Structure 1
Amino acid sequence: MTLWITLRNLRVRGWATFLTVLAVALATATALVVPLVSKQVERGAADAAQVFDLLITAKGSPTQAVLSSLFYLDEPIGNIPYATYQKLADDKRTLRAVPLGFGDNYHGLPMVGTNARFFEQRLKPTLPPYFHVESGRLFAGPLEVVIGQAAARQTGLKLGDQFRSAHGSEEHAGAEEEEHAAEYKVVGILAATGGPVDRAIVTDIQNLWEVHGQFTPESRGVTAVLYTAAKLGDLYSVSSQMNATPSAQAVFPGQVFANVRSFVLQGQAAYAALSVLVLLLAALTIWLSVYAASLDRARSVALLRALGAGRSTVFGVVLLETAVTVLLGLLLGVGLSYGVSVLGGQLLGGRLGFALPAPVLDWALLFRVAALFPLGVLAALPPAFGAARQSPVAQL
């Protein structure tokens, strides 16, 4: 009986019920979206960079080193001498030293100079190479390139196509950029990884040197080196050695992510405080809605009392109406936040250059918004008590 009356009342006051549900849903989504997207970015960035053990660049900001050399999102710090790279490549502790060179772009996409060892990198020694060609072949001759899946879609380049690169990174690509005379040829398209290389054009670093007129080792520079040691202990000894030199630094990408994550967590803590305020405002909205509904239902409550409904029945109807309204709002808000996070993750992933995993609604986040339910029910107690004490004579 109480449930039937509650559902009927909610249907009769459909517009007011909808507004209340929407207010709760928006408050719930606001409390969830930022943490969900932040965790997506954190997991996506970590997944995209986990293939790289150690990054060696010129002295400067470790964060800038990672963003520029691994994600192609910032200007490179500078170059390290070719002799430094060669010394690392010849070191007996080295399993693999992969050079990286930047400086050119094609339609805003970064040209990445490297060598064949770039395609030997693996997540684990027992797994196949992380980067591999899906169609065509790897570059082997002068001015040959392989391109990532996203780069192929964005530019329309196909196997056999030729193009000219322009000087400058993607951040400075524009109408006044200077094209090089040399024409590159697409010989391969890489399999998608969900990482930054999907939107890159990869060629032999020798091509970049020659396009820029750097024909001797003394004139050449290497923007970064992706380093893998033969043994774990060697990784740390090489890192210490590089950091002691005046021209280079060694950066562990995982350590940079940990530092960035601490700043993100601080921002999330501030946002959590804001979300509590939002939830309190939502609870106030619920209280105002319940109070306004109590005025609208005065005659129906009086009729219920006149028909023999007890105070407990009236009290239960008002409380149940609020509980159903808040629950619908919470469920809608959780669904809305998930949908916005999926869409936002796709858009943000396209901008950042690496795929973001699907959002995960963990128990900690759900518990945060679940606190709105008892708040809403508590807000309904005064109107519920008022309706239960109401005299039917005054309204009939």
Structure 2
Amino acid sequence: MTLWITLRNLRTRWLATLITLLAVSLATATALVVPLLSRQVERGAQDAAQVFDLLITAKGSPSQAVLSSLFYLDVPIGNLPYSEYTRLKADPRTGRAVPLGFGDNYHGLPVVGTDPTFFEQRLKPGAPPYFRVRQGVMFNRPFQALLGASAARQTGLKIGDTFKSAHGLEEHHEPGVEEEEHDATYTVVGLLAATGGPIDRAVVTPIESLWRIHGQLTPESRGVTAVLYTASRLNDLYSVAQQTNARPLAQAVFPGQVFAQLRGFVLQGQAAYAGLSLLMLLLAGLTVWLSVHASGLERARSVALLRALGAGRGTVFGVVLLETALVVVLGLGLGVLLSLGLGQLAGGVLGARLGFSLPAPTLEPALLLRVLWLFPLGLLAALPPALGAARAEPTRNLA
């Protein structure tokens, strides 16, 4: 009977119920969506870079080195002399030294110069190669190109097609500004399997292609933007990194350490956002209280009728609390679903801009606790109106 009365009251006051539901659900979604999205980006970035042990670049910002050389999202710091690369490659502690070269684009897609050792990288020993040719063949001479999965879809190029790259890291769209297109013609020889990482939106070619295009015809004139380094043993990795950082031209960067630093900055921003979320949840709690208080004034006559028909004070008290509990629970549920939907939608958009896939949003217990305390807060807000309704004399409102 109590549930039937509660549902009838909520249906009678549908507009006030809807407003309260919206307030609770929007406050819940606001508290969840940014932390959800930031964790998606964090997990996606770590997944995309987990194949790389150590990154060696010219001296500069470690975060810029990672963003430019691993994610193709920033301007490279500069080039290392080719002699630095050959020194690393010849080091007996080296398991693999993969050169990277940047500087050109094709319709905004980065042209990545490297060599076949790029396709020997694995997540762990014994695992299959992380980067694979899905269709076609591996390049074996300059000006052959492999297209990442997203790059192939975006450009529409197929095996056997030809194209010319342009100077710079991005496509220019300013009126009157023409692309500085190179004379050399690339031929597509293969399509890469999708990885969900930045390589999906890249054009991969032998690094000799970039050296020839930019007139670097002798070893003394050549440069490499970065080196993806793997040591034969774990201890060697740290010793090589230490010695590299002691040299005047190069720096060794562990991508995991950079992610940890960036995560610290993100957490600082999330702390400020958590304050805003708390304010939104408090406002939602106030909305619940106002709704219950206003409905208490409206239900005075119906409560008097219930009491006159024999309903006890406990029944009246329970009806008011149950109304509030149902509204808050429904609002929390809608807010959680809304936050997951927004996280999925924003993750797809943001992932396309960042160049790597973001995992689906997941709600962890610690994150849910940020909003679940709105339930006891709502019940607490309903206590004074519920007590007032239970103590009201029925004869006063039946006249």
Q: What TM-score do you get using the length of structure 1 for normalisation?
A: 0.98
In structure 2, what is the Cα distance between the partners aligned to 1:11 and 1:18? 10
Asked if 1 retains the 8 angstrom alpha-carbon contact of 2:106 and 2:171, the reply is no
After superposition, give the CA deviation of every residue in 1:199-246 in whole Å (9 maximum; x if it has no partner): 000000000110111111111111000001111111111111111111
- The answer on 1:57 being equivalent to 2:60 is no
Q: Does 1:321 align with 2:320?
A: no
- What's the counterpart of residue 296 of structure 1? 298
Match of 1:281 among 268, 283, 290: 283
Which residue does the alignment assign to 2:33? 33
Residue pair 1:107, 1:173 contacting (<8 A) in 2 also: no
Give unmatched runs, 5+ long, in structure 2.
Answer: none
Inter-partner Cα distance in structure 2 for 1:378 and 1:59: 58
SS at match of 1:240: helix
For residue 251 of structure 1, the aligned residue among 253, 266, 290 is: 253
Aligned partner of residue 261 in structure 1, secondary structure: helix
Determine the C-alpha separation between the residues in 2 that align with 1:118 and 1:309: 78
Q: Is the 8 A contact 1:40 1:359 kept in 2?
A: yes
Given residue 215 of structure 1, which amino acid in structure 2 is its aligned partner? L
Name the residue aligned to 1:159: 159
Counterpart in 2 of 1:150? 150
Using the TM superposition, give the Cα deviation of residue 176 of structure 1 relative to its aligned residue in structure 2, in angstroms: 2.6
Q: After superposition, what is the alpha-carbon deviation per residue over 1:31-73, rounded to whole angstroms, capped at 9, x for unaligned?
A: 1111111111111101100100000000000000000000000
Query: Which residue of structure 1 lines up, in the alignment, with residue 352 of structure 2?
Result: 350
Q: Residues 5-39 of structure 1: CA distance to partner in whole angstroms, max 9, x if unpaired?
A: 00111112122211111111111111111111111
Residue in structure 1 matched with residue 123 of structure 2 by the alignment: 123
1:294 shift after superposition = 1.3
Q: Identity of aligned pairs, percent? A: 73
Q: State the alpha-carbon separation in 2 of the partners of residues 124 and 82 from structure 1.
A: 28
Letter paired with 2:155? T
- Structure 2 distance, partners of 1:267, 1:183, is 46
Query: Given residue 207 of structure 1, which amino acid in structure 2 is its aligned partner?
Result: S
Alignment of 1:328-367 (within 5 A): 328-367=330-369
Match of 1:384 among 356, 371, 386: 386
**Given the alignment of the two structures, is residue 139 of structure 1 paired with residue 134 of structure 2, yes or no?**
no
Match of 1:9 in 2: 9
- Helix, strand or coil for the counterpart of 2:95? strand
Q: Is the 8 A contact 2:171 2:179 kept in 1?
A: no
Among 312, 329, 337, the residue aligned to 1:310: 312
Q: Distance in 2 between matches of 1:195 and 1:316?
A: 54
Query: What SS does structure 1 have at the residue aligned with 2:92?
Result: coil
Deviates more, 1:221-230 or 1:289-298: 289-298
Whether contact under 8 Å (1:101, 1:113) holds in the other structure is: yes
Paired with 2:219 and 2:142, the residues of 1 have a C-alpha distance of 18
Match of 1:81 in 2: 81
Task: Tell me which moved more, 104-113 or 132-141.
Answer: 132-141
Distance 1:204 1:68, change over 3 A: same
SS at match of 1:98: strand
Between the aligned partners of 1:160 and 1:302, the Cα distance in structure 2 is 84
CA distance in 2, matches of 1:152, 1:289: 55
Number of paired residues? 396
Distance of aligned partners of 1:244 and 1:149 in 2 relative to their CA distance in 1, 3 Å threshold: same
Q: 1:222 aligns to what? A: 224
Contact 1:298 1:395 in 2 (8 A): yes
Q: How far apart are residue 322 of structure 1 and its match?
A: 0.3
Q: Retained in 1: the 8 A contact 2:57–2:251?
A: yes
Secondary structure of the residue aligned to 1:127 is coil
TM superposition outliers: structure 1 runs of 4+ over 6 Å: none
Q: Which amino acid aligns with 2:79?
A: N
Q: SS of 1:46's equivalent?
A: helix
2:103 matches 1:103: yes
**Cα distance change of structure 1 residues 189 and 69 upon mapping to structure 2, 3 Å threshold:** same
RMSD in angstroms over aligned alpha carbons? 1.2
8 Å Cα contact 2:27-2:281 kept in structure 1: yes
Q: 1:79-101 deviations in whole A, cap 9, x for unaligned?
A: 01011001111111111100000
Which residue of structure 2 lines up, in the alignment, with residue 201 of structure 1?
Answer: 203
If the length of structure 2 is used for normalisation, what is the TM-score? 0.97
SS at match of 2:52: coil
For residue 171 of structure 1, report the CA deviation from its aligned partner.
Answer: 7.2
